Amino acid sequence: MRDMLGREDAISVEEAQKRIAEHLIAKEPFLTALPIEESYKRVLAEDISSPEDLPSFSRSTVDGFAVLSSDTFGATEGLPAYLNVTNEISMGEEPQFTLKKGEAAKIPTGGMLPQGSDAVVMLEHAQCADDGLMEVFKPVAPGENVISAGEDVRKGERILTRGHMLRPQDVAALAGIGITEVRVYEKPRVSIISTGDEIVPAKSGLRPGQVRDVNSYNLAGLITEHGGLPVKKGILKDVFDGIQDAVKESLDTCQMVIITGGSSVGILDMTSKVIDSLGSPGVIFHGVTLKPGKPTIGGVVNGVPVFGLPGHPAAVTVCFDLFIKPLLRMLTGVKEKEHLKKKRAMTARIAKNVSSSPGREEHVRVVLESRGDEVWAVPVLGKSGLIRTLVMADGTVVIPAQVRGLQEGDTVEVLLF
């Protein structure tokens, strides 16, 4: 269906997301090798199996005495086991003796167990006499207070898998097994093309009628935060050929293209035509039942997603969250558990009635406020063209399309920025 201006009716957020997913051609991201020091938050491009046992030897987990566990069986406070302390083990060194029945060797936490021993008696459960004789008050089981060779990671065992985003402890594990370089996926490059005859760079003074480019800064931050590499293509005049050239060049070098510009019909039509001119299927939706963000254009050109975002800052943020972020995460190559994908959110009570048109998903910016023990979400009023509403807000509350609005005091989930 088309409206009185000849435009297709806006489609739902879900339908828009579905269409993008259908037309995308998932490509394997590029690889690069990095020293592990630089691999934090990067996505592994290979499975990692351990080249060796970790630890490579049996270690004590306590301060105490390496023993043969069978020597301590049945020991009690009243009837201790007696052992000869024949040696002391130093950290980082291999004991140059074999422990025999009836013997014990002093060992520090982390020390290597001598041949013959299979457990460690804690310092607190033993008492030394003068003549090298020791009383043990508590039996130990085989392996007690010991991490045995390969107990942490076995040689050949797969410890990390392709698609995993490396956390601090994962990098630590790589260091532990002696892997100091890993292959990771390159960050997906996302082209940001700012358009508009009225837009000037942030450093420019303004003539009447001009405004500075804000959206490329918002987008660059959001893209970086979610694992992408923003590629700013500068500010272009609203001229078909210039925009077409910039998108064409971006399609060759980037994995996603975002055109931000005005929301005027003329500009939107030009953006649509540029997308359609460059490959198939071109524009796949133009207009979403969403506020803010209605005039969003979604397209795919030969498998690469291309978006035309309305110029309103709040709309840019909402569209990023709904359409761009999920694609960007996918392009990073990361494989996440469903429940770990969730955005940081908190429950609050809405502090004002908020009306919402049915059939349109509304994203309301809110400020969090403590009131007694409760957290309240105060809607930030103001047009979506204002950057200030985004700066004031701590997060957003989503009113689904089928809901008419919110009543003061309703419990809501706030998605935090």
Name the residue with tokens 């566990």. 69
Kindly report the three-state secondary structure assignment for every residue of 186-222. CCCEEEEEEECCCEECCCCCCCCCCEECCHHHHHHHH
**Residues between 357 and 376 that touch a copy of itself (CB under 8 A):** 368, 370, 375
Q: Choose between 282 and 362: whose C-beta lies nearer to a copy of itself.
A: 362
Angle 330-250-41 (CA atoms, 0-180°, nearest 5)?
A: 35
Is 242 one of the binding residues for a copy of itself (CB under 8 A)? no
Contact 65, 138 (CB under 8 A): no
The one-letter code for the residue type at 154 is: R
Q: How far is the CB of 390 from a copy of itself (least distance, A)?
A: 4
Q: Choose between 361 and 394: whose C-beta lies nearer to a copy of itself.
A: 394
Residues 25-41, buried b or exposed e (16+ Cβ, 10 A)?
eeeebeeeeeebeebee
Is 2 one of the binding residues for a copy of itself (CB under 8 A)? no
Residues 236-248, buried b or exposed e (16+ Cβ, 10 A)?
bebeeeebbebbe
User: SS3 for 33?
Assistant: strand
- Of 26-34, 73-81, 214-222, 275-283, the window that binds a copy of itself (rule: CB under 8 A) is 214-222
**Residues between 21 and 80 that touch a copy of itself (CB under 8 A):** 36-37, 40, 52, 54-57, 59, 61, 63
Other CB atoms within 10 Å distance of the CB of residue 254: 22
Q: How far is the CB of 301 from a copy of itself (least distance, A)?
A: 25
Q: How far is the CB of 145 from a copy of itself (least distance, A)?
A: 9
Is 6 one of the binding residues for a copy of itself (CB under 8 A)? no
Q: How far is the CB of 335 from a copy of itself (least distance, A)?
A: 13
Is 167 one of the binding residues for a copy of itself (CB under 8 A)? yes
DSSP 78-115: SS-EEEEEEEEPPTT----SB--TTEEEEE-TTPBPPB
Name the residue with tokens 């001229």. 239
- What does residue 170 show for φ and ψ, rounded to 5 degrees? -70, -40
Q: Choose between 9 and 94: whose C-beta lies nearer to a copy of itself.
A: 94
**Residues between 176 and 195 that touch a copy of itself (CB under 8 A):** 176-180
Distance, CA of 113 to CA of 386 (rounded, Å): 68
The one-letter code for the residue type at 2 is: R
When binding is defined by CB under 8 A, the residue of 337, 355, 373, 402 that contacts a copy of itself is: 337
Q: Choose between 64 and 282: whose C-beta lies nearer to a copy of itself.
A: 64
| Total residues binding a copy of itself (CB under 8 A) | 103
Q: Choose between 55 and 116: whose C-beta lies nearer to a copy of itself.
A: 55
Q: Choose between 80 and 282: whose C-beta lies nearer to a copy of itself.
A: 80
Q: Choose between 81 and 316: whose C-beta lies nearer to a copy of itself.
A: 316
Binding string, residues 291-320; x marks residues near a copy of itself by CB under 8 A: --------------------x-x---x---
